[in-house]
Structure 1
């Protein structure tokens, strides 16, 4: 397990995006010596890709081990990722054997290493290859039988399909992805939930300000715009919630309770300023309020 801010954000971020699709287990222990998979995801049956693009495609293929890195992993770290994969596959095969069933090759788990970039040397050493007939640039596959791939985030095409993976990049790749995130409609729940996670990530980094590396200082700058947007939205939501309580209290004062009919006019009243809705709530009769605002 780790306390590194990027690792914690990446796990929370991927868990937030994948939870509607199936079972997400973080820091999942796998047996030989104790090892922990960053994200072990098992898709639910009959679930559809909820606009997660490439990430959704990866997750819904079958059980997935997702290992996000802030920096390019070393050869040793990649080998350790494969050890986790083989342990997960062996465990699944043991369970199938106890049930006297057989797992097909295509049903076995896959490893997806997510790296901000990948050097030519690393690609050559592990013989990772592109599959451009079926996958976008930046997705490199290991030999077929090993069921593993590495995603070079900085090489992914800049499209909506890759947005949720490019947020885990670095430098300009990450800045571009965050700008695209902010451009999404404010009604998009993934947008707001991701902004909240980014804000928390930045807060954790700021708290370590005396010991920040140059990379972490750059990261704080990358996250600042998203943090400001989240902060403004949060303040606005707090103001609206406060005003909602005022309106409900005024209606409760006048009429004893906010029943179902009165509850339906609250949103319409909130379109007015406090200076406008306060006298209306205090002066109009129940019938007048319902007639004026119930159909808005």
Structure 2
């Protein structure tokens, strides 16, 4: 019987020649020094979910060993990924059951490595100290912990190398949530909290030259400006948005800019299709 298809949430391989230092990411940067698998959970992780994550890791180990044998090379320990399971909370019995223990001297509060040979750790986000060092992990929390992280993110200077990307990803999360017809109250509250971050990013995008690009009048500059603003709102452009760019660049900027800033993705498509 064929095995169940298992998908990894995020697999990270460090760039051997990075253009930016990861150090501003604080504690998160320490997880990026070697290949890593990230499995984040919105709700508290269960024992079955932890076992599923570990199973994915074991499958990857087996595949890497097979590939090494095919190439007649050895598999270095440093090339084997480490598993990071992110959960808002976790009970003491759950952590104890997997042999996950604090290593405060190495990682501080909230990080629970399993036994060394498992190359795995559980990050309990709501136990992390509220410091700049943990900001990029606390953004993935819930409730008050996440709201505090959003407050800190808003206060970062515009020149922070990771701030813009974080805002774009959060805006993408907002857009995805808004497309869900079955939102619960927590999701609706999250959308409301993300809205000021969205407005902030759009304002920064305009000030950084997107609006000037629309005003210059050259077709390629207008196209790039419109595409950048759409990406800031909705993420990478798909076929539907790319198909309407030619129609959009013909509109006066005074008419187009309010539509780009205010309409939903589907409203924009409906407005410029046909």
Instruction: Name the TM-score, length of structure 2 as normaliser.
Output: 0.71
Measured after TM superposition, the shift of residue 128 of structure 1 is 0.9
Q: Alpha-carbon deviations, 1:140-178, whole Å to 9, x = none?
A: 111221111011111112222211111111111111111
The structural deviation recorded for 1:117 is 1.7
Q: Which of 59, 64, 71 pairs up with 2:32?
A: 59
Matched, 1:158 2:130: yes
Q: Provide the rounded CA distance (Å) in 2 between the counterparts of 1:160 and 1:173.
A: 13
Q: In 2, Cα distance between the equivalents of 1:134 and 1:73?
A: 23
How far off is 1:189 after superposition? 4.0
* SS class of match (2:32): helix
CA RMSD of aligned residues (A): 2.3
Say whether the 8 Å CA contact 1:205–1:220 is kept in structure 2: yes
Find out whether 1:136 has 2:108 as its counterpart. yes
2:192 maps to 1:184: no
* Structure 1 contact 171–218 (Cα < 8 Å) conserved: no
Is 1:204 the equivalent of 2:176?
A: yes
TM-fit CA distance, 1:32: 4.8
Q: How many residues align?
A: 215
* CA distance 1:207–1:96, change in 2 (3 Å): closer
1:109 aligns with 2:84: no
Alpha-carbon distance change, 190 to 170 in structure 1, aligned in 2, over 3 angstroms: same
Indicate how the Cα distance of structure 1 residues 91 and 124 shifts in structure 2: closer, same or farther if over 3 A, else same.
same
Q: CA deviation at 1:187?
A: 2.4
Q: Secondary structure at the residue paired with 2:38? A: strand
- For residues 168 and 74 of structure 2, the distance between their equivalents in structure 1, rounded to whole angstroms, comes to 43
Calculate the TM-score normalised by the size of structure 1. 0.66
Matched position secondary structure for 1:151: strand
> What's the CA shift for 1:213?
1.0
Structure 2 unaligned spans of 5+? 219-274
